[in-house]
Amino acid sequence: MNRDIRRWYQGEGERLLKRVGLLPGDLILDFGCGSGYYTIPAARIVGNKGIVYALDKNRYLLANLIKEANSIGLTNVFPAHSLEELKQILAGSHLHGVLLYDVIHSYYFTIRERRSLLTAVAALVMREGLVSIFPRHMSSPEIDGIRNWLEALDFSLETELETDLLHDEHFSSGRVYTFRKTVRRPL
């Protein structure tokens, strides 16, 4: 494990995710979790009364992440292989938050697919829940498009953090946007 990953796991990751808004007892989805650089700190924050669902299309990475989490005593990380599977697991319950970190750029998603993903994710988040995005590899117009789409889905930008965070096993500065689902009041 390199020095940056060690530093991340020794507290930097948790500090960032607490600033984003994760709390003990939360149900969180780490979409496109990869090796779990955000899953592990999130699981530590939500604790034994919370759950982090780790979703990734790479089943090998996902299996290794679950094995790693269990080996360090984190029994609150569960795999999800698709949003459809997660819906079945939740059985009508909702998430407190979703992490979309370095996964919704054009390498993986067209604009139409991105909108579809954001719509599906928004439906899984409870009122006053959050969607947090680290839009690495995205242009300002693409980020504006995400912001506009989330606003159309009743989310509003809560925080925009310029911070150092782990990316490809090394610290890099970037911007993290956290949106909060607003509560619509009857007219």
- Residue 185's pLDDT band, with cuts at 50, 70 and 90, is low
**Euclidean distance between CA atoms 68 and 155, whole angstroms:** 34
Question: Is residue 124's pLDDT more than 90?
Answer: yes
Per-residue pLDDT at 90 exceeds 80? yes
Q: CB-based contacts of 55: which residues, under 8 Å, 6+ apart?
A: 29, 30, 31, 32, 33, 62, 79, 80, 81, 82, 83, 86
Q: Which of the residue ranges 38-47, 73-82, 97-106, 177-186 would you say has the lowest mean pLDDT?
A: 177-186
Compute the Cα dihedral for 178, 45, 121, 60 and give only its sign: positive
Pair of tokens at residue 7? 């530093």
> What pLDDT is attached to residue 1?
75
Is residue 81 within 8 Å of residue 59, measured between CB atoms? yes
pLDDT (0 to 100) of residue 105:
85
Q: Is the pLDDT of residue 187 over 70?
A: no
- Please give the DSSP secondary-structure letter assigned to residue 18: H
Residues 6+ apart with CB under 8 A from 114: 104, 145, 146, 149
Give residue 186's pLDDT. 56
Element (H, E) at 141: helix 140-152
Q: Residue 3's pLDDT is what?
A: 95
Element at 149 (helix H, strand E): helix 140-152
Burial of 48 (0-12, 13-18, 19+ CB in 10 A): exposed
19-63 pLDDT, tens digit per residue, is 999 999 999 999 999 999 999 999 999 999 999 999 999 999 999
Q: How far apart are CA 51 and CA 64, in angstroms?
A: 18
pLDDT at 184 over 80: no
Partners of residue 97 on adjacent β-strands = 28, 130
Question: CA-to-CA distance for 42 and 28, rounded, in angstroms?
Answer: 8
Distance between CA atoms of 52 and 80, rounded to whole angstroms? 10
Measured at the alpha carbon of residue 111, what is the angle toward residues 107 and 117, in degrees to the nearest 5? 90
pLDDT (mean) for 82-109: 93
Task: Please name each of the domains of the chain with its CATH number.
Answer: 3-181 (3.40.50.150)
pLDDT number for residue 7: 93
Structure tokens at 48: 């034994």
Strand partners, 170: 167
What's the pLDDT band for 107 if we cut at 50, 70, 90?
confident
Average pLDDT over residues 121-139: 95
- Return the pLDDT at 106: 82
